[in-house]
Structure 1
Amino acid sequence: MEGGRLVGVAVDFSACSKKALKWAIDNIIRKGDHLIIVTVQPEGHYEDGEMQLWETTGSPFIPLDELCDAHTMKKYGVSPDPETLQMITLAARQKEILVVMKIFWGDAREKLCEAVEKTPLSCLVIGNRGLGKIKRAIMGSVSNFVVNNATCPVTVVKLAEG
């Protein structure tokens, strides 16, 4: 990809990832940039289909028109919600940016750091679910891991205000 910066946003179609996406569009993305929607699906047993080919490298870049096609997304095992699709379609048109998605399969912590290196991203924006201290200690925080291990600047957007 030639031209502007490669701005990654980790999206799992949850409320916190939509807030991170909106924040990135409003505050970071500028004309000529490439918005890379990075999504990580749980590791599964993909006996047939193209996912098996990309299990280690992630999917090829999926352009916006294919991202908006339910049949194509079903092939990848991803179900983008209408709100997210509307947000990125509007951003692509208004800010004159290229929007693509890259899908990885496996542990979100590791795969987001891998996306930073393999793409390579100029920066990554990620949402924070706001887990309490106990849940975060047991489950671990994806955003905390990525902040500490990614090789590019990472911005964490909190879901809860205050």
Structure 2
Amino acid sequence: MAETEGSPKERRVMVAVDESEESMYALSWALDFLCIGDEDTLVLLHAQLPPRVYTTVDDTGYLFSSDIMESMGRYQRSITENVLERAKRICTGKNVCVETRVAIGDARDVICEQAEQLQPDFLVIGSHGYGAIKRAFLGSVSDYCAHNVKCPVLIVKHPRNKTE
């Protein structure tokens, strides 16, 4: 069906969320300034860290048991649940259709893969505001995504406290 002039086009906006204030601010910003309406879909994407696999004894001579590994997995899942619950609360009352996606892996790879799969109209991602040295060692997820995702990428900077 052809889009008629004046009718709103349904948009799909993907927002990458994690436990940081920066990502929650980016979500709020997207809701406030992208004017997401009831025709639009907001996809909340969380990249869950993969479980670490310890196949040998570590430097201290400690071998992780399956109970400890399961406990670490439960902890990661609880972080994911908390992040998505917090993000959904921010969306409450905004009259927008919300989908949630969780993928396991490095945030850079997860975001790029999901953007390729879902083909959103926009990707919104928060900036942690790392300095040049920290960015050089850790890498910037937002910078990586800006260079590797095919859709427009909005990198939202969290306003800094003026007394800092």
Q: TM-score, normalised by structure 1?
A: 0.72
Equivalent position of 1:4 in the other structure: 10
Equivalent position of 2:136 in the other structure: 137
Whole-Å Cα distance in 2 between the matches of residues 5 and 32 of structure 1? 7
CA contact 2:43–2:98 (8 Å) conserved in 1? yes
Amino acid in structure 2 at the alignment position of 1:34: T
Equivalent position of 1:16 in the other structure: 22
Following superposition, the deviation at residue 45 of structure 1 comes to 6.2
Give the 3-state SS of the residue equivalent to 1:35 in structure 2. strand
Give the 3-state SS of the residue equivalent to 2:37 in structure 1. coil
Higher Rg of the two aligned structures: 2
> Within 5 A, what are the aligned runs for 1:59-138?
77=77, 78-80=80-82, 83-91=86-94, 95=95, 97-138=96-137
Following superposition, the deviation at residue 159 of structure 1 comes to 1.6
Q: 1:43 aligns with which of 16, 27, 50?
A: 50
Following superposition, the deviation at residue 109 of structure 1 comes to 0.5
Q: Between Structure 1 and Structure 2, how many residues are aligned? A: 129
Give the 3-state SS of the residue equivalent to 1:79 in structure 2. helix
Equivalent position of 1:61 in the other structure: none
Amino acid in structure 2 at the alignment position of 1:87: I
Alpha-carbon RMSD: 2.3
Following superposition, the deviation at residue 107 of structure 1 comes to 0.8
Percent identity between the two aligned chains: 36
Whole-Å Cα distance in 2 between the matches of residues 86 and 106 of structure 1? 25
Equivalent position of 2:62 in the other structure: none
Structure 2 unaligned residues grouped into runs of 5+? 1-8, 54-73
Amino acid in structure 1 at the alignment position of 2:99: V
Give the 3-state SS of the residue equivalent to 2:14 in structure 1. strand
Give the 3-state SS of the residue equivalent to 2:120 in structure 1. coil
CA contact 1:130–1:160 (8 Å) conserved in 2? no
